[in-house]
């Protein structure tokens, strides 16, 4: 706390709002540059494809963060919901020939329904037990897909029209971030965080904890489904191997690395972790080792993730909070604890 | 106001509450005292809906709330300040208090309750933006009570408010409990610190291994030879 006092340089609310605004403006600028690059073909098709995956991963990470980060319910089944959305959307496109936006919404609704049905019984479980149950769900989805005729079984499902353009992926990702930021800031958002902080206290406050846990789970599942739909129409071919347990772990790593409870963190981590394996191609066979070492190193240095529970705008407000702590340390004289 | 009759609660095979009956009258401070493991906290949890009894009735203003979910019971004006404070550590003092009023819609009366809480606990007013986890034990207890008051309760259930606090701070907390009661909030106080509890309460029930073994006016209970020997160290 002494350190806090030394660094305790308070920023006025106005200046921290300007800082948040600058952070937002920088993000928009980056995105604009990428767009110019894509549309003037300065970024090649290969890399544009990676950018689409970045957008899909942002949607996956942000939506899982609502469940794992904000509400504190440890789910390992995100790939399962992604698979549901991917297959549902592919079938809707192939057999119903619905327009793509409708297909996306349909995939979201179907995944949300499944999330609701799975969430209702499993969310009574806590911690490790919930993790195991959701893990089981993900595997069940995969095994069911593997054995159904309509999904093509282990041979996969091909011939899906390539409807996921960079533009669409980008728009859906932006919408996702806006929607989740608003959910988190609303009074519902406070209920989610209260459940994470202390479920019993949240219940004693009059928060219907079951309802909110199932709600977080269903919303998270809906967007995982939409991400799955984008994925299916980007790859044009899906098979059960794309949605294994490893996939759920990849998304979880993005959420934990970015910070449980930070949307900005999820965006940054999803972007970095998607591009990094490509950037490391120079060192060929060692790249996965480098990637793993980076993860271990980062967790040792910042176990709370890149952003902790803070957002980009909050980072500029840090000085103020530490200032408060410093003041408290001064005022807190001789009281029994 | 609150009538509990023949309440039985089990934790798996363990019979935690055995035929517990008592009542809380409107406007009073009722205290439930007893040693560790006597079933005091279990009783409170059963009332606020955090656990379910196997049999027996819990009636609040004539309505049976024994099978009502916790979040609906809070809406009826019954608010619990849980044992061990349980403040939301990563939220500010102000956010904790706002969550206390979670189920309420009327902005004006929420604001006046907030002002009242800050008046009761000036130290919370000074630390509005501080993270609750960085408060001292006494301040966290104040915050937990303040958060409980933000739901505008008619009946406040307090679970061990003196736990882990220095004697001077305990006295301060109990004075505030009396002040809250004087504004018309009925209080059910669960305490191990029998001495302090009996000094502020109107009526008292003594619990031992899941049963109510003695009840009466607080002064009478405090004068009882057995109670004096077992809980007051006299």
Kindly report, residue by residue over A44-55, the tens digit of the pLDDT: 889 999 999 999
Give residue A322's pLDDT band: very low, low, confident or very high (50, 70, 90). very low
Q: 3-class SS at B35?
A: coil
Q: Which of B42, B23, B33 is nearest to B228 (CA)?
A: B33
CB contact under 8 A, B99 and A204: no
* B185 and B71 within one domain: yes
Kindly report the length of chain A: 337
Alpha helices in chain B (DSSP H): 40-48, 70-75, 93-100, 107-120, 122-126, 137-149, 167-182, 194-200, 218-223, 225-230
Q: Chain A closest CA to B68's CA: distance in Å?
A: 12
CB contact under 8 A, A198 and B88: yes
CB contact under 8 A, B90 and A309: yes
On whether any CB of chain A is under 8 Å from the CB of B82, the answer is: yes
Residue of B48, B52, B88 to mutate when probing chain A, most A C-beta within 10 A: B88
Interface of A with B (CB under 8 A): 187, 190-191, 193-194, 197-198, 200-209, 309, 321, 324-325, 328, 331-332, 335-337
CB contact under 8 A, B99 and A190: yes
* Residue B28's CATH number: 3.40.50.300
CB contact under 8 A, A200 and B82: yes
What confidence score (pLDDT) does residue A333 get? Answer: 37
What confidence score (pLDDT) does residue A125 get? Answer: 85
**What is the distance between the alpha carbons of residues B130 and A326, in angstroms, rounded to a whole number?**
10
Residue of A nearest to B105 (CA): A187
Helices A45-65 and A209-235, interaxial angle, to 10°? Answer: 170
The residue ranges of every structural domain in chain A are 23-317
What values do phi and psi take at B32, rounded to 5? Answer: -115, 110
What values do phi and psi take at A236, rounded to 5? Answer: 70, -5
Q: Which residue has the higher pLDDT, B8 or A327?
A: B8
**What is the distance between the alpha carbons of residues B35 and B51, in angstroms, rounded to a whole number?**
21
Residue of A nearest to B44 (CA): A204
Q: Chain B closest CA to A248's CA: distance in Å?
A: 27
* B106 and B66 within one domain: no
Alpha helices in chain A (DSSP H): 2-7, 13-39, 45-65, 78-91, 100-122, 127-147, 166-185, 187-197, 199-204, 209-235, 245-258, 263-279, 287-301, 312-315, 318-331
Give the pLDDT confidence of A203-251 residue by residue, as tens digits. Answer: 888 899 999 999 999 999 999 999 999 999 999 999 999 999 999 999 9
Residue of A5, A16, A189, A206 to mutate when probing chain B, most B C-beta within 10 A: A206
Domain that holds residue B123: 84-152
Of B134, B152, B170, the domain-final residue: B152
- Overall number of domains in chain B: 2
Which residues in chain A have their CB less than 8 angstroms from residue B99's CB?
190, 194, 202, 205, 207
* B5 and B119 within one domain: no
Which residues in chain A have their CB less than 8 angstroms from residue B70's CB?
203-204, 206
Closest CB to A204 among B70, B126, B137: B70
What confidence score (pLDDT) does residue A49 get? Answer: 93
CB contact under 8 A, A325 and B130: yes
What confidence score (pLDDT) does residue A335 get? Answer: 37
* B73 and B185 within one domain: yes
- pTM, two decimals, is 0.85
Stretch A188-197: mean pLDDT, rounded?
92
Are residues B42 and B79 in contact, defined by beta-carbon separation less than 8 angstroms? no
What confidence score (pLDDT) does residue A13 get? Answer: 59
Stretch B122-150: mean pLDDT, rounded?
94
Give the pLDDT confidence of A155-180 residue by residue, as tens digits. Answer: 999 999 999 999 999 999 999 999 99
Q: Which residue has the higher pLDDT, B36 or B16?
A: B16
What confidence score (pLDDT) does residue A319 get? Answer: 45
**What is the distance between the alpha carbons of residues A187 and A215, in angstroms, rounded to a whole number?**
14
Which residues in chain B have their CB less than 8 angstroms from residue A336's CB?
138, 165-169
Residue of A72, A205, A331 to mutate when probing chain B, most B C-beta within 10 A: A205
Residue of A nearest to B101 (CA): A205
Closest CB to A193 among B80, B81, B91: B91
Structural tokens at position B176: 């505030």
What confidence score (pLDDT) does residue A316 get? Answer: 57
Residue B181 makes CB contacts below 8 A (sequence gap 6+) with B27, B28, B29, B187
On whether any CB of chain A is under 8 Å from the CB of B169, the answer is: yes
What confidence score (pLDDT) does residue A161 get? Answer: 94
Q: What 8-state DSSP symbol labels residue A12?
A: P
Report the percent of chain A where pLDDT is more than 90. 63
On whether any CB of chain A is under 8 Å from the CB of B153, the answer is: no
* B145 and B158 within one domain: no
* B209 and B187 within one domain: yes
**What is the distance between the alpha carbons of residues B140 and B72, in angstroms, rounded to a whole number?**
26
On whether any CB of chain A is under 8 Å from the CB of B130, the answer is: yes
* B73 and B157 within one domain: yes
Pairing verdict, β B186-191 and B155-159: parallel
Which residues in chain A have their CB less than 8 angstroms from residue B166's CB?
335-337
Closest CB to A325 among B49, B134, B169: B134
Which residues in chain B have their CB less than 8 angstroms from residue A190's CB?
95, 98-99, 102
Report the percent of chain B where pLDDT is more than 90. 82
Closest CB to A205 among B89, B102, B130: B102
* B101 and B213 within one domain: no
Domain covering A23-317 in this structure, CATH number: 1.10.3470
The DSSP line for A221-237 is HHHHHHHHHHHHHHHS-
Stretch A71-78: mean pLDDT, rounded?
94
Of B152, B176, B200, the domain-final residue: B152
* B120 and B192 within one domain: no
Closest CB to B136 among A204, A205, A335: A335
Residue of B134, B148, B149, B154 to mutate when probing chain A, most A C-beta within 10 A: B134
Pairing verdict, β B2-11 and B14-24: antiparallel
ipTM value > 0.90: no
Give the pLDDT confidence of B111-124 residue by residue, as tens digits. Answer: 999 999 999 999 99
What confidence score (pLDDT) does residue A12 get? Answer: 54
Residue A40 makes CB contacts below 8 A (sequence gap 6+) with none
């Amino acid at each position: 706390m002494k350190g806090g006092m030394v660094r305790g340089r308070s920023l006025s609310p106005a200046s921290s709002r300007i800082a948040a605004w600058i952070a937002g403006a920088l993000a928009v600028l980056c995105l604009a540059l990428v767009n110019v690059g894509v549309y003037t073909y300065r970024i090649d098709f290969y890399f544009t494809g990676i950018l689409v995956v970045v957008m899909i991963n942002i949607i996956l990470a942000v939506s899982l963060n609502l469940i794992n980060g904000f509400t504190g319910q440890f789910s390992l089944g995100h790939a399962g919901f992604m698979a549901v959305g991917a297959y549902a959307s592919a079938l809707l496109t192939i057999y119903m020939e619905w327009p793509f936006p409708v297909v996306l919404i349909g995939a979201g609704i179907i995944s949300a329904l499944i999330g609701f049905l799975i969430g209702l019984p499993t969310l009574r479980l806590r911690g490790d037990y919930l993790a195991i149950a959701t893990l089981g769900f993900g595997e069940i989805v995969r095994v069911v897909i593997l054995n159904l005729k309509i999904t093509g079984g282990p041979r996969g499902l091909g011939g899906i029209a390539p409807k996921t353009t960079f533009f669409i992926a980008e728009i859906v990702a932006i919408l996702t971030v806006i929607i989740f930021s608003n959910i988190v800031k609303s009074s519902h958002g406070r209920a989610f965080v209260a459940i994470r902080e202390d479920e019993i206290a949240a219940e004693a406050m009059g928060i219907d904890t079951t309802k909110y846990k199932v709600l977080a789970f269903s919303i998270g599942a809906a967007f995982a489904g939409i991400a799955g739909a984008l994925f299916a129409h980007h790859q044009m071919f899906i098979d059960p191997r794309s949605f294994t347990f490893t996939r759920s772990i990849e998304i979880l790593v993005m959420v934990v690395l970015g910070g449980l409870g930070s949307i900005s963190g999820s965006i940054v981590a999803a972007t970095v972790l998607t591009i990094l394996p490509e950037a490391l191609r120079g060192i060929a066979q060692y790249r996965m080792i480098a990637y793993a070492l980076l993860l271990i190193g980062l967790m040792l240095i910042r176990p709370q993730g890149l952003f902790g529970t803070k957002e980009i705008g909050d980072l500029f407000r840090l000085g103020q909070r530490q200032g408060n702590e410093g003041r408290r340390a001064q005022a807190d004289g001789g009281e029994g604890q | 106001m609150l009538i509990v009759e023949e309440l039985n609660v089990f934790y798996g095979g363990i019979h935690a509450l055995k035929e517990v009956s008592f009542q809380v009258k409107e406007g009073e401070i009722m205290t439930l005292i007893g040693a560790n493991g006597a079933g005091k906290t279990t009783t409170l949890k059963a009332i606020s809906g955090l656990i379910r009894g196997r049999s027996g009735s819990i009636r609040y203003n004539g309505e049976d709330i024994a099978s009502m979910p916790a979040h609906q019971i809070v809406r009826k004006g019954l608010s619990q300040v849980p044992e061990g404070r349980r403040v939301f550590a990563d939220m500010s003092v102000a956010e904790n208090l706002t969550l206390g009023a979670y189920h309420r819609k009327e902005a004006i009366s929420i604001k006046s309750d907030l002002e009242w809480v800050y008046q009761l606990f000036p130290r919370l007013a000074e630390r509005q933006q501080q993270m609750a986890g960085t408060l001292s034990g006494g301040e966290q207890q104040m915050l937990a009570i303040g958060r409980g008051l933000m739901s505008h309760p008619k009946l406040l259930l307090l679970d061990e408010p003196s736990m882990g606090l220095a004697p001077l701070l305990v006295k301060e907390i109990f004075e505030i409990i009396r002040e809250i009661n004087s504004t018309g909030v009925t209080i059910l106080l669960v305490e191990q610190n029998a001495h302090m509890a009996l000094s502020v309460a109107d009526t008292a029930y003594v619990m031992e291994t899941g049963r109510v073994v003695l009840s009466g006016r607080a002064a009478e209970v405090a004068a009882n030879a057995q109670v004096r020997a077992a809980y007051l160290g006299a």
